[in-house]
Amino acid sequence: MKSAEGEQAAEGRVILRLDGITKLYPGSIALYDARMDVREGEVHGIIGKNGAGKSTLVNVVSGITPPTGGIIEIGGDRYSSLTRQRAKRKGIAIVTQEPEVVPDFTVAENLFFPDYLRRPGGRIMWGDINREAGRMMEQAGLRVNVLAKMSDLPLSEQQLVLVAKAFYLEKAKIIILDEVTASLSSKDAAFLYEIIAAQKRGGKAILFISHHMGEILEICDRVTVLRDGQTVATEERKTLDRHRLSLFIVGGEDLAGGSEGGAAVSRVKTGDPVLTVKGLTRAGAFYDLSFDLRGGEILGIAGLRGSGRTELLKAIAGVDRVDEGRIFVKGEERAFRSPAEAFAGGVVYLPENRDREGLIENQSVRENLSLSSLKHLTRGAFINKREELKAVEGLIDMLSIVTPSPEQEVRNLSGGNRQKVVVGKIFAARPLVYLLDEPTRGIDIGAKKSILAIIKERLASRAGVIMTAPGLEDLVSVCDRILVLCGGRVVNEFYRGAFGERELYLAIHGMDRARAV
């Protein structure tokens, strides 16, 4: 980093400095002694693996999360922590990955909520709000009807409206964009880059968080890399390429064989396939995918958001239609039109959003666990309550679900225990194939280890498993084989003993397309 005073001034004054930021949670360390400075008129990238601490760090800066230790310095003022209100007063705005909107409010209402323009006496000036919202959209270059309901806009446009709010309404000096391109089309992402470039020229500081090395290297001036909650490097973009950046991100780790005893797994599973996919295509999502899954095998699907991994599982499970291709279960061709049809055909799908799609939250643990196995628990039109309770208690014990009673409503359980209920529910179905979309998402380390052990020791003992994961380490831990998707196509295939986290990270970014078989 340049130290001459003239050069420092030319590069922009430091307006945000983080010194020794630490965030501890019971049983885990989200951040430890993280350090970073941000200058006026720069786009500062933050990158790292899932769980590296990126979102925690920006939540500390924006006042969402109080740190356990460290100092936040903004424009020369030092704080041990910030609130949302103080961060806003200091000129900090954040746009998160999932657009935070009120769906039934208009675009104009969302832009000004909750700080509506008011006349003396408190009456809201709706006309002025609508006119100002229109002027702001014009300034941002967005062709959006400000009187339309926000829910009527595509997700991509909703995100751009929130970006415009941060830049043009809140007039923040430091704007945090946390994975905002995940919900943007390529056209809208290019439009966002133009907005960022213009705001940078105006002296704004933009913190840009992304998993995508390509866009980090394209638009950022400097890049800070986090690994395991710590800052491992802050580098000028001109000194970085994909290979050098990837080494900072994954370090010298080589996790081949995994940390869960995976070395004992054979290189190739034998036996007849329980699932065969041939030439499967869904335009805009994935193309010409072909593979087999054998009984007892855990097949990982690795890829960035938008690679097609979730869409593939939904297509197999009958959630989404396919344009071309064939699916075979135990050699019989199937074309499932719904998850219920897939379930009846021996394919069970665990969705990415467990609370919305995988659980009935106002029902009990017992009712959720037994729902998928009622055909094994009924005699005629009646449920054998004794057999049901015996089966449910067996699942609670096997999965170590912490609940005061089988009659406890699942919405009152912790995230990890809700996830165990979902896994228990599909385990009880006794299928041929499990499709698990990020089964470890949003749960703590202890619950994650438990879920991975259940997948490896229980689910794979009776069926074939296909899974995705929020972090590569989960796939490395339990998978026998991993397919890497990039742009909806298989670009690499790894077998146990030939993959580690570094190899997978490079592959999902399209840096090594040699098939590692």
Inside any domain, residue 152? yes
Cα-flanking dihedrals φ and ψ of residue 484, to 5°?
-105, 125
What's the predicted TM-score (pTM) here? 0.68
Cα-flanking dihedrals φ and ψ of residue 72, to 5°?
-110, 120
CATH of the domain at 82: 3.40.50.300
Q: Which of 234, 250, 266 is the last residue of a domain?
A: 250
Q: Which of 250, 269, 287 is the last residue of a domain?
A: 250
Q: Is the pLDDT of residue 417 over 60?
A: yes
Inside any domain, residue 29? yes
* 111 & 77 share domain: yes
Inside any domain, residue 6? no
Helix axes 126-140, 155-164, angle to 10 degrees: 100
CA proximity to 470, closest of 493, 447, 439: 439
Which residue segment(s) compose the domain that 307 sits in? 258-346+432-517
pLDDT above 90 coverage of the chain, percent: 40
pLDDT bracket for residue 507 (50, 70, 90) = confident
pLDDT single digits (tens) 400-410: 788 888 888 87
Q: Is the pLDDT of residue 363 over 50?
A: yes
* 118 & 137 share domain: yes
* 96 & 188 share domain: yes
Question: What's the pLDDT at 259?
Answer: 37
* Rounded average pLDDT over 84-110: 88
* 387 & 400 share domain: yes
DSSP one-letter string for 454-480: HIIIIIHHHSEEEE--SSHHHHHHH-S
Residue 432 CA to residue 338 CA, distance in Å, equals: 17
* Rounded average pLDDT over 208-228: 91
Question: What's the pLDDT at 353?
Answer: 61
pLDDT single digits (tens) 430-471: 889 999 998 887 666 677 788 888 889 888 988 999 999 877
* 186 & 76 share domain: yes
Residue 152 CA to residue 154 CA, distance in Å, equals: 7
Residue pair 431/350 in contact by the 8 Å Cβ criterion: no
CA proximity to 108, closest of 145, 57, 142, 80: 145
Inside any domain, residue 182? yes
pLDDT bracket for residue 97 (50, 70, 90) = confident
* 308 & 387 share domain: no
* 215 & 77 share domain: yes
Residue 96 CA to residue 469 CA, distance in Å, equals: 21
Strands 378-379 and 222-227: unpaired
Q: What is the 3-state secondary structure (H, E, C) of 157-207?
A: HHHHHHHHHHHHHCCCCEEEEECHHHHCCHHHHHHHHHHHHHHHHCCCEEE
pLDDT single digits (tens) 490-502: 999 999 887 877 7
* 337 & 393 share domain: no
Q: Is the pLDDT of residue 11 over 80?
A: no
Inside any domain, residue 3? no
* 392 & 462 share domain: no
* 311 & 436 share domain: yes
Question: What's the pLDDT at 6?
Answer: 37
* 399 & 457 share domain: no
pLDDT single digits (tens) 219-264: 999 999 999 899 999 999 999 988 888 888 887 544 333 333 333 3
Residue ranges of E strands in 313-377: 324-329, 332-334, 347-350
Inside any domain, residue 120? yes
Inside any domain, residue 25? yes
Inside any domain, residue 1? no
How many CA atoms lie within 13 Å of 336's alpha carbon, on the beta-carbon side?
Answer: 25
Q: Which of 250, 267, 296 is the last residue of a domain?
A: 250
* 41 & 22 share domain: yes
Counted domains in the chain: 3
Which of 178-182, 305-309, 337-341 has maximum average pLDDT?
337-341
Report which of residues 472 and 485 the model is more confident about: 485
Question: What's the pLDDT at 366?
Answer: 81
pLDDT single digits (tens) 348-359: 998 866 555 567
Question: What's the pLDDT at 516?
Answer: 47
